[in-house]
Chains A and B, each alone.
Chain A
């Protein structure tokens, strides 16, 4: 079983719609959760992190965490073409190691 699993996509959404990305993880001891955005040919950029169950909002982004279900998601509201990228879910057990999913590719259609 992979430590962190994501649907590879591509996830295609029309401009202005909500993009919903999902991530599941296998280690119940995981404590902190991250979403990185990676444009083609570029390095990952941290966009959200969440530590507690529930929702965390930052601008058009909302991260949702459910530790009981071992599930973390990212919602992108009012999707823009500039949101087209690969989104990486990463999980940490409060040591120095992040475990990454393979990423979900999002395409926003103008």
Chain B
């Protein structure tokens, strides 16, 4: 099964950048890396995904290590609305849709 490791929690000040790491050492060559976040009392929502190259969208950036065994979700300017649990996972033909326990991000003024 696909396994990911993330820190349990992280804190950030508002307007500061946040780097959320994820280790996925069992990733295979064709697995995509996805990040989701779960706001309180809601189901998870998509944030960003990538395969090998770094990716940017309006919500965040995704930096993928050269060996693909780790990735970092970057929130360029954290806001209070970004307080959530962030999950990474990787999916491919050989891996199941598994998530870890995620990182709870706290954003303070």
Say whether A and B bind each other: no
Q: Interface residues, chain A, CB within 8 Å of chain B?
A: none
Q: Interface residues, chain B, CB within 8 Å of chain A?
A: none
